[in-house]
Amino acid sequence: MTTMLLIASLAVGGSALVLLARDERPAFRAATPVVFGGLVLWLWQVVCTGYGVPEVLLPPPSRIGAAIIGHLPTLGQDFQQTFLRAVIPGWLIGCASGLLAAIALDASPFLRRGVLPLSSLVSAMPIVGIAPIMVMWFSFDWQSKAAVVVVMTFFPMLVNAAAGIGQTGAMEADLMRSYGAGYARTLLKLRLPSALPFVFNALKLNATLALIGAIVAEFFGTPIVGMGFRISTEAARLNLDVVWAEIVMAALAGSLSFALLTLVERVVTFWHPSFR
Amino acid sequence: MGKVAPVLVVLVILTTLWYGAALAMNWDQAQTLADDDAGWTDVATAALTLERPLLPTPDQVVGEMIRGVFGYNVVSSRSLLFHAGVTAWAASLGFMVALIAGMTLAIGIVHIRTLDRALMPWLIVSQAVPVLAIAPMVVVVLGNIGLTGVTPKALIAGWLSFFPITTGMVKGLRSSDPMRRDLLRTYSATGTQVFMKLRWPDSMAFLFPAMKVAAPLALVGAIVAELPTGAQAGLGARLLTGSYYGHTPQIWAALFMAAILAMLAVAAVDGAQALLVRARGGRL
């Protein structure tokens, strides 16, 4: 029975996808991934309930939905602890100081040639590993998580912003000089605006990194609230529906911040070729 | 010399700052431990040689690493090389899986329109999702059905490095010059021939940067996968026990080891790229 339902859904869903993908109208193009996502969820549900997959292995989507609604207050608290208290301040501080450091480095070519190779080296390192050190320095609470996020977001911003500031065209710089513009004005009117696409690139990259940093830092000790704490303890207690609910929350938080940043980027850097 | 000097100067500045910070942060602890009649030089010496300092000095960290690497037999669980090897093994297994799966999926996406339309948006969204958050659950669930040891770690490492490889490969397979594709069409080349002679060679310029992003991610995945179960071996386990017992030099040594592994991984990708460039006569 389940097998037949499975084959039928696969056949119907698959052919619907193939038909949708052939159509070039924008509405149909947008519908294809949605239908695909729905199909995956449906198959997941059918397999889980139909074959009686134990919930300690994989809870069906309906259970996860129920867990999201049932644990809404807890999820809200965890979201507040992890996202509002650790991710956002840490991301803001890390990105701001990375940007300031890039501007400061811009004034000294010697330091820039020393710092940038080291920074790109650090960017490629498993920085989440500093979490236990930060927990030791800044207490168990959100301060240590924010500190991890600051360190994780600082270097990508520094590297990207420095690259952005450094790539101002010589023609534009000459034009500014012919206007008699000083260092500050050139920086404000030409170099920073032209670095913005790079800065936004780092902001978006850092949004994901910040969430990862805060969640992983909570694996090393935390008060009894927070997304990372909930994920690790409920996984150990085999309450997988709650774990999945947290993961859905984290995914939503991540992709919504990403979408918001993309929107802001479009508005702020409307002049960039990729948006014209 | 023009490139090395600035880096060296910055490194010297950083090391000096580090010693200063170590002195400042460990001062209180050193003072409580010191005798009443100890002068400030004694306290300062003590602050730089504490057994469980808040911030170990660079020489303490390097000392701990040297002891960990050369002090014990490689198979001993006290050897840092042993733990690094455990993590590196899981990470490279996962990376291989991700490489094969990512390439396969990318080839599918480029050639099958349904896959492209249905999957590509999800792959892009997935870059904004903290995929690492699933690590504890995967480890616990796989442990439940009897899969422990290297498998869960490799799976998480692979899962993490899978996304950059897939998106990079899709971009690469589509990066071919349309003129050349047209030329191949005038030769009446088949789809397989276009793939083997044009798309695949062109994709390498995108695959290698993607691999440089993916390799450290695989390492992060392997390390984080060692956290939730309190694994006995691996750099993640070293970080965890170090933080339980407050043995800070051990944490820093594990961290620097992880950094060295990440550098080695990136260097290995660079090496493979250099080999390929040479085999192709000087261009990627």
Contacts of B277 (CB under 8 A, 6+ apart): B283, B284
Same domain, B85 and B159: yes
What is the rounded radius of gyration, in angstroms, for the C-alpha atoms of chain B? 24
pLDDT in tens, B12-55: 999 999 999 988 888 888 888 777 677 778 888 888 888 788 88
Residue B230 half-sphere exposure toward CB, CA atoms < 13 A: 6
**Residues contacting B68, CB < 8 A, separation 6+:** B78, B79, B80, B81, B253, B257
Give the gap in angstroms from C-alpha B121 to the nearest C-alpha of chain A. Answer: 7
Q: What's the Cα-to-Cα distance from B259 to each of A46, A182, B223, B262, B265, rounded to whole Å?
A: 44, 42, 12, 5, 10
Q: CA-nearest residue of chain A to B118?
A: A33
Ramachandran quadrant class, B35 (left: phi over 0; alpha: psi -120 to 50; beta: rest): beta
Residue B234, sorted as left (phi over 0), alpha (psi -120 to 50) or beta, turns out to be: left
- Name chain B contacts of A112, Cβ cutoff 8 Å: 6
- Residue A114: which of B9, B243, B252 has the nearest Cβ? B9
pLDDT tops 60 at residue B107: yes
In a domain, B284, yes or no: no
**Under CATH, what is the fold of the domain A68-275?**
MetI-like fold (1.10.3720)
Set of chain A residues whose Cβ sits within 8 Å of the Cβ of B6: 110-114
Q: How confident is the model at residue B230 (pLDDT cuts 50, 70, 90)?
A: low
> What pTM did the predictor assign?
0.86
Same domain flag for B124 and B46: no
> Are A17 and B248 inside 8 Å of each other by CB?
no
Whether B132 and A216 lie within 8 Å, measured CB to CB: yes
User: How large is the average pLDDT for residues B220-224?
Assistant: 89
Categorize the per-residue pLDDT at B231 as very low, low, confident or very high, splitting at 50, 70 and 90. Answer: low
Of A75 and B124, the structure prediction assigns the larger pLDDT to: A75
Task: Round the average pLDDT of chain A to a whole number and report it.
Answer: 88
Count other Cβ atoms within 10 Å, centred on residue A144.
26
| Mean pLDDT of the B109-120 span | 88
Q: Are residues B139 and B255 in the same domain?
A: yes
Query: What CATH number is given to the structural domain containing B268?
Result: 1.10.3720.10
The pLDDT assigned to B30 comes to 82
Give the residue from chain A lying closest to B122, CA to CA.
A33
Cβ–Cβ below 8 Å for A22 and B136: no
Residue A10 banded pLDDT, cuts 50, 70, 90: confident
The whole-number pLDDT of residue B183 equals: 93
Whether residue B40 sits in one domain with residue B139: no
User: What does the alpha-carbon distance between residue A86 and residue A276 come to, in Å, rounded to a whole number?
Assistant: 36
**In percent, how much of chain A has pLDDT > 70?**
99
Instruction: Name the domain count of chain B.
Output: 2
Say which of A18, A118, A124 has its CB closest to residue B7: A118
Q: Which residue has the tokens 């609230």?
A: A225
pLDDT tens digit sequence for B173-183: 988 888 998 99
* Residues of the domain holding B105: 80-279
Question: pLDDT per residue over A109-148, tens digit each?
Answer: 888 888 888 888 887 778 888 888 888 888 888 889 999 9
CB contact under 8 A, A121 and B114: no
Does residue B71 lie in a domain region? no
Provide, as residue numbers in chain A, all residues whose Cβ is less than 8 Å from the Cβ of B18. none
Per-residue pLDDT at B76 exceeds 80? no
**Are residues B114 and B244 both part of a single domain?**
yes
Assess whether B168 and B224 both reside in one domain: yes
Q: Which residues of chain A have a CB within 8 Å of the CB of B246?
A: 136
